[in-house]
Structure 1
Amino acid sequence: MAKKVVATLKKEGGVSYAKVIKAVRSEKTGAYTFREEMVPSPLVQESLKK
């Protein structure tokens, strides 16, 4: 299934995407977890500001 997703993201004429990985700290334990999301390239800076 992942191969189909990658194939559709690499189509010509489509929007280019970037994978954004953020370190998020848990308030309960203080441990860090990593949150990954696929974001259109023009919106990467907005996504990081959240």
Structure 2
Amino acid sequence: MAKKVVATLQGGAGSKKMTKVIKMEKSPKSGAYIFNEKVMNADDVEAYLKK
């Protein structure tokens, strides 16, 4: 089943290239680090990481 999901993210004709981004942020409540995972278009990765 996992192979099907990966195949759809890699795409075929006319699909966009998708990337999984993991961003480490510091929690304002506890001060511990948390990891946010997101699947997004490869062109938007740099803008997301600069936030």
Query: In which range does the TM-score fall when normalised by the shorter chain?
Result: 0.7 to 0.9
Structure 1 length-normalised TM: 0.76
Equivalent residue number for residue 24 of structure 1: 25
Gaps of 5+ in 2: none
Provide the aligned length of Structure 1 versus Structure 2: 50
- How big is the shift at 1:49? 1.5
The percent of aligned pairs where both chains have the same amino acid is: 48
Question: How large is the Cα RMSD of the aligned pairs?
Answer: 1.6
Structure 2 length-normalised TM: 0.75
- How big is the shift at 1:4? 4.2
